[in-house]
Amino acid sequence: MENFLKEPNKEELRELNSKILTKEWTCIKASFKPEDLIFSFLTFKYGKVNAISFSSDDCEIQLITNNSGKFISIEGKHYYLGLNSFVSIFPLSIDDILPIISGITVSTIIERRNYSDFEIDILNDLIKLGVIVEENLKIPNYKSLPLFFSLMLSFDPYIPDITGNRENSIKMLKEINIQETDKLEDIDETKLNSLIYKIISSELKINPKFSREQIITKRAYYLEYDSLELAFALIYFLDLKGNGDIFQFVISPNYAETLIYKFREELSKGFYIKDVNETANYYIVESNLKSPTLIQLILLQSGKIKRNKPVAIKNEEGVFTSRLQVPSLKEGLVKIEYNG
């Protein structure tokens, strides 16, 4: 295998994309992860790929992630991407802004990393196409949502007693004289600093090393859509239903409106995460949140689990995991046997 471990530049990655899109291929092999799927569906949309496989090693194109970073293998030759998301090699087009910015963001969430310098350059390049890039609190869609709802949907960072809890979120804001209908941009600097202090104080309960820098991040908005909220929605519905929503989103990005509407509707009443029990094969988590991967994201931050074991949800209907957590031929939630 030829590993070109020198950090690639923009021109090299664009040439790699051109190489993929200009030739006909039998299939592309990808992992069942949001970023890999977005890349594969964009390749299907603009290139000549006849099939997408999650298992065949005979595909001419393969997406590879290992301890060294990411590679795209083309007919056995490996091209190094560093830590950059697979979707970052696509040419910037107004028709694909939402898949690209959400693909980059979901990559950072799943991999627990910051945006790379190359990805930040892409976000900045997209400004001329109407994208807004700014640095602010890392909570979903603070431009459109009431602040209490943005805090409720904060999976990363997870805010103890606030994430998923409507009543506690509203109560915390009222303690610093922020009203239930206020958005982040409605509050003054004094209230913002008080809010940040409360969030950090809450975070320190589960992570003594937590700092202000971990809740302030660069952010990409396009039209009324926030890349962070879209990334969470894509993870949620990939767990819950399978890859159909991601395919429709990539092929017709205006499907984002439906995705976000359904995501907010399902999570608006809040959710709980209770007991965590470790078995030989799973972390069994009592919760009414339907996404094992979002639960995993929360519990990794609180230090209650390790990444090397999948998460399964226990609710009144049984115990379920997903194809994002374990290899499976079935998409959506997968029921497993558990006698605990």
Would you call 282 helix, strand, or coil by DSSP?
coil
Q: What is the structure's pLDDT at 1?
A: 42
| Strand intervals (E) in 100-258 | 132-137, 216-222, 225-226
Taking 50 as the threshold, does the pLDDT of residue 304 lie above it?
yes
Last residue of a domain, one of 246, 266, 286: 266
Pairing of strands 61-66, 28-29: parallel
Residue 1 lies in a domain: no
Query: 242 and 97 in one domain?
Result: yes
Q: What is the structure's pLDDT at 3?
A: 46
Residue 340 lies in a domain: no
Q: What is the structure's pLDDT at 296?
A: 97
Query: 80 and 35 in one domain?
Result: yes
Q: What dihedral do alpha carbons 294, 34, 120, 227 form, nearest 10°?
A: -60
Taking 70 as the threshold, does the pLDDT of residue 2 lie above it?
no
Query: 32 and 123 in one domain?
Result: yes
Find the domain containing 230 and state its range: 10-134+218-266
Task: Give the tens place of pLDDT for each residue, 159-183.
Answer: 999 999 999 999 999 999 999 999 9
User: What is the pLDDT confidence band of residue 39, given thresholds at 50, 70 and 90?
Assistant: very high
Query: 205 and 322 in one domain?
Result: no
| Residue 291, φ and ψ in degrees, nearest 5 | -105, 110
Query: 324 and 176 in one domain?
Result: no
Rounded percentage of the chain residues whose pLDDT exceeds 70: 98
Last residue of a domain, one of 147, 182, 214: 214
Taking 50 as the threshold, does the pLDDT of residue 205 lie above it?
yes
What are the Cα distances from residue 335, in Å, to 67, 234, 288, 314? 31, 21, 15, 10
pLDDT mean across residues, the chain: 93
Query: 45 and 15 in one domain?
Result: yes
Residue 2 lies in a domain: no
Pairing of strands 333-335, 318-322: antiparallel
Last residue of a domain, one of 196, 214, 232: 214
Task: Give the tens place of pLDDT for each residue, 104-122.
Answer: 999 999 999 999 999 999 9
Query: 193 and 111 in one domain?
Result: no
What are the Cα distances from residue 289, in Å, to 13, 164, 320? 38, 9, 11
Q: Average pLDDT in the 311-331 region?
A: 94
Structural contact between residues 301 and 204, judged by C-beta atoms closer than 8 angstroms: no
Residue 180 lies in a domain: yes
Query: 104 and 237 in one domain?
Result: yes
- Total-model pTM: 0.95
Query: 47 and 121 in one domain?
Result: yes
Query: 105 and 88 in one domain?
Result: yes
Residue 161 lies in a domain: yes
Q: Average pLDDT in the 8-17 region?
A: 81
222 has which bridge partners?
225
Residue 80 lies in a domain: yes
Query: 222 and 105 in one domain?
Result: yes
**10 versus 287: which is more confidently predicted?**
287
Among 261, 243, 259, 227, smallest CA distance to 106 is for 227
Question: What is the C-alpha separation between 158 and 164, in angstroms, rounded?
Answer: 9
Q: What are 93's two structure tokens?
A: 């087009």
Query: 164 and 58 in one domain?
Result: no
Taking 90 as the threshold, does the pLDDT of residue 42 lie above it?
yes
Taking 90 as the threshold, does the pLDDT of residue 9 lie above it?
no
Burial of 155 (0-12, 13-18, 19+ CB in 10 A): buried
Q: Helix crossing, 256-267 with 244-251: angle to 10°?
A: 140
User: What is the pLDDT confidence band of residue 5, given thresholds at 50, 70 and 90?
Assistant: low
Would you call 191 helix, strand, or coil by DSSP?
helix
Residue 20 lies in a domain: yes
Q: What is the structure's pLDDT at 295?
A: 97
9 has which bridge partners?
none
Cis (ω within 30 of 0) for the bond into 8? no
Taking 60 as the threshold, does the pLDDT of residue 4 lie above it?
no
How many folded domains does the chain comprise?
3
Residue 4 lies in a domain: no
User: What is the pLDDT confidence band of residue 318, given thresholds at 50, 70 and 90?
Assistant: very high
